[in-house]
Each structure stands twice: as structure tokens, then as C-alpha cells.
Amino acid sequence: MSLDLTEEQETIRDMAARFAEDRIAPNAADWDEQKHFPVDVLKELAGLGLGGIMVGEDQGGSALGRMESVLIYEALATGCPAVSAYLSIHNMVATMIDRYGSADQRSRFLPDLCSMNRLASYCLTEPGSGSDAAALATRAESMGNQYVISGQKQFISGAGATDLYVVMARTGGPGPKGISAFILEKGMEGLTFGANEKKMGWNAQPTRTVQMDGVSVPAENRLGEEGEGFKFAMAALDGGRLSISACSLGGAQAAFDKAVAYTGERKAFGKKINEFQALQFQLADMATDLEVGRTFLWRAARALDAKSPEATKLCAMAKRHVTDMGFDVANRALQMHGGYGYLADYGVEKLVRDLRVHQILEGTNEIMRLIIARAVTEAR
């Protein structure tokens, strides 16, 4: 499997990197401090074709693959991992509707999602079911030509500020086969949102609970057939794990670049600190870790594009390895800055705060180990 990029892929990556440098990075610290969700900047990204990266061209999407997606999210995350991560979640929802939606759903929802005139959130996690997602309790009762949905979703990115919510709810019995997927629209009676959570990082996107109290949802807003929701959710998470890995990689690369610049300027004991072998060895290890992570992420992305039977295992491996590595690199970069790394002005502490959650969401890294172990043992 070749790891070379095509000319088109290089162009796409460079476009995203320029946007991150010009429009995201200069504002990232202010957005973090003010807890500002930069919807206007997201709409500019849509103007570059990034509101529906993998959506078909017939609905206004760019019809790109998973490989192009990870290149985009890594490049944007060098400016701000939280903004890039939200874009990946919006695209996850758009891709689900494109892949599993009816012709009516695709034409009703996708053009506005691709233009980002409407923003989307993904609703799986609940207060009582995180890693054990198949135990979700949100209920959808069929009543004629509609469903009445009640329940609560937790840790929902963009909630309250977004317009569409793909919600996993139980239409049948216990377990994954009883779960279906629904498209809810902001403004539906009974759909409300909690306060914006106070978080360690990811402050450039809101995180709220989504409360559903007898929300009437037209049957035409059910995504796929009854009982298919969990299958859709897990398939989406394979891609989501690569996306969040790419965001970790981009954030870690930004932290590393700051460390290289700082150690080349800071002097101690009569010379630049990058002349000390101890720091040289650390920089060498960090650079190697970034390249190894990037290489494996691309391997997993290409496997998912190719629908390889190993794709789920490789996505879990990439998520576990790259998000752990990304946080470690950023944390080491902070240490190299000494006390200055702890100050907001240098931008490294924000990257550490933003990247920490990547080891938790889209399936914790402990769950990734379970997925990998099962794949390994069942293959024997």
C-alpha cells in the first residue's frame, strides 16, 4: 500500500493548512478564552467544500475519501484542534445521511449541511451509557406516522448551537438490535438543551446535554430501517476515530513546532537549550513519534476507504496510538517551555488541554484495546 500522496491530496492538504494559518490560528486563543463557537469561520470552510467532505456531489458535497478527510483535519487542527474536531463531527452526520438516508432525506438535509447553513450534532452517549453504548435508554415509541422520543444525551458537541441532531434511540428490545437512528431538528417541541459545560479544553465548541421530552418526530425522519441505528453508529465511529486521531496529530505537530522554535531561541548556561543532548534526544523522539503516527493513520484511512476487513481493527489501533502519542508530544512540548509553557500566551497549554479529551471520546482508548484484542484473538 503506497503512502505517497497524489497531487490532488497535496493540494487539499495545503489549502487546509493555509486556512488554519490565516483564519484559525490567529484567533484560537481568544476563542478558547471567550468560549466562542466560530460559526462564521466554519461557513468559510464550507465555501472551500469542507462542509460535506465525503458527501456526493449531487447534494453539494466534495465526494472525497477518508484519506483526504484525515489530511484536512490534521491541517486544520494545527490552528485549533477543537474547531477541526467539530468540523469532523458535522461531517460525520452529513456522511451518515448521505450513506444511509432516503432520497428525500438527502435532498432535504444535505445541501444545507454541505453549505453549513445548518450545523449538525451526533447524539449517542447518555449519562448512563458511555462505553456501553448499546445500553442506551432513550426511547422512541412508534405512533402512526411519527415517533415520540424521550431521553437524554450527554456530552454532545455543538448542542444548542446546531440545527440537526442524529439521535440513537431504542425502538425495540435490549441490546444493539433494538436501536434505531433519527434526524431531529432544532425547534421541535420538547427538544431542549442544558447549560454549556465547563470543560478543561475544547472551549471553541459548546458541549451540552440534549433533552428530549416527548419529541414528535415524523417517521420520514427515521434513518434507515428500525434496528439499524447501532450498526450505523458503529460504522460512523470507525471514521470518527480516524478523524479525532488526525486532530490529535495536527495539534501535536503544532506543539512540536512551537517546541522546536522555543528551544532554538531560549538560552541557558551560556548556550541555546537545543544544543543540550537531553533535549535533542527528546526532539528526535517526538519527531519520530509524529511520523510513525502519521504513517499508521494513513494506513488505517486507506484501509477504511478500501473497505478492508481489517479496517475496524486498524481504526481502533490508530485511535489508541495516535491520540496517546499526540497528548504525550504536546505535554513534552509544554515541559520544554518550562514555566512559559504553562502560560496561555505561548499557546502550548491550550493544545495540551484540547488533546486530552481525544483519549476519551469516540470510544475510550481502553475500549480501543478491547476492540483490537478481540480482533486479534478471534482471528486465531
Active-site residue set: 362
Number of neighbours of residue 163 by Cβ within 10 angstroms: 18
Placement of cell 490508530 in the chain: 318
Distance from C-alpha of 68 to C-alpha of 83, rounded to nearest angstrom: 17
